[in-house]
Amino acid sequence: MYRFKRPKHAELRSLGIAMLTVVTIVVAAAMNGSCFGTETTLCEESGLRCRPDQVCAANQPVCIESGGCGDNHLDRAKGEICDDGNIIDGDGCSRDCKSMEICGNGIIDTISGEECDDGNRTDGDGCSSSCKAETCGDKVVGTNEQCDTGGDSLTCNHDCTVAKCGDGYPNVAAGEERDQIEIFGSKGKISFSVFEMEKITITENGKTEVLVFDQLQHVQQPIIEKIVEHFLGEGPNPCSGDDGAQVMWLIDQFVGNKLVLQDN
């Protein structure tokens, strides 16, 4: 029996017709919003199409939830504080409609430059009247600060404590002498403070190393006890004249004075 064999080009033509039919059905269904569930809401001003459960924002080409933030209707039941018809931050109403973006409302609006917001506009409570975090040096006397002049001054130290003689910090701006000893050598220098003695800075060949250690407690007590015993006639003099002269010579070398020791 003879069988007729369809030409290959005829098979391709039939396949093309079938695909065109499927595409036509899909497009028609989309336009009618039928079996595929593609019904949309048209935003006439922008031409944007939104899902059936969405609406167009009042003043922005974007889809929003029906009755939600951005519809230009204030809904306090949903926690809205404002609604300017869009969902944009930085325009006086936040994108969630829950902040008017002003300092003192208890909401940190970073887009407005706020670092904190404690619900008030009072200085000295950790968050300034301009909603900036209060730190030592900002010229605002904050929590745990005695003063704040933005650095050393006649009345205040750089660490926001009141400047006074004997506080362990030489405030030059307050008229105190600089408490710093520097010993120079061929490779660098060693720097340290007499009164604080909490760190030693070593600079060698352009590199700096800071050695920090706990300040010794009552370091002068042994020598003071020996001196008291001497004046009470209970012990020898712990500091002879020769020892004193050598100490004075070292001090003069530090401060730049010249002292010549002579043997008697």
Instruction: Dump pLDDT digits (tens) for 173-226.
Output: 888 776 778 888 888 999 888 766 678 999 998 899 999 888 777 778 898 999
State the Cα–Cα distance between residues 101 and 131, nearest whole angstrom: 11
Displacement of CA 92 from its chain's centroid (Å): 24
pLDDT at position 8: 52
Residue 32: per-residue pLDDT:
47
Token duo for residue 62: 């974007």
Q: Which two tokens stand for residue 59?
A: 């003043």
Q: Percentage of the chain surpassing pLDDT 90?
A: 44
| φ and ψ of 151, to 5 deg | 145, -170
pLDDT digits (tens, 9 = 90+) for 54-87: 999 999 999 999 999 999 999 999 999 999 999 9
Query: For residue 136, what pLDDT is reported?
Result: 92
> Kind and range of the H or E element at 56?
strand 54-56
User: Does residue 22 register a pLDDT over 60?
Assistant: no
Q: What is the pTM of this model?
A: 0.45
| Partners of 233 in beta bridges | none
Asked if residue 100 lies in contact with residue 107, where contact means CB atoms within 8 angstroms, the answer is: no
What HEC string does 68-105 produce?
A: CCCCCCCCHHHCCCCCCCCCCCCCCCCCCCCCCCCCCC
Closest CA to 96 of 81, 108, 76, 110: 81
Listing DSSP states for 179-241 in one string gives --EEEE-SSEEEEE-SS--SEEEEEETTEEEEEE-PPPTTTTHHHHHHHHHHHTTSS--SS-H
Question: What does the pLDDT read at residue 76?
Answer: 93
| pLDDT 10s digits, 94-140 | 999 999 999 999 999 999 999 999 999 998 888 989 999 989 999 98
Q: Examine the pLDDT at 37 and tell me if it is beyond 60.
A: no
Residue pLDDT, tens place only, 159-181: 999 998 877 788 888 887 767 78
With 50 as the cut, is the pLDDT of residue 36 above it?
Answer: no
Of 209, 202, 166, 211, the closest CA to residue 182 belongs to 202
| Pairwise CA distance, residues 74 & 91, whole Å | 16
Q: What pLDDT, on a 0 to 100 scale, did the predictor assign at position 79?
A: 93
Residue 100: Cβ within 10 Å count = 14
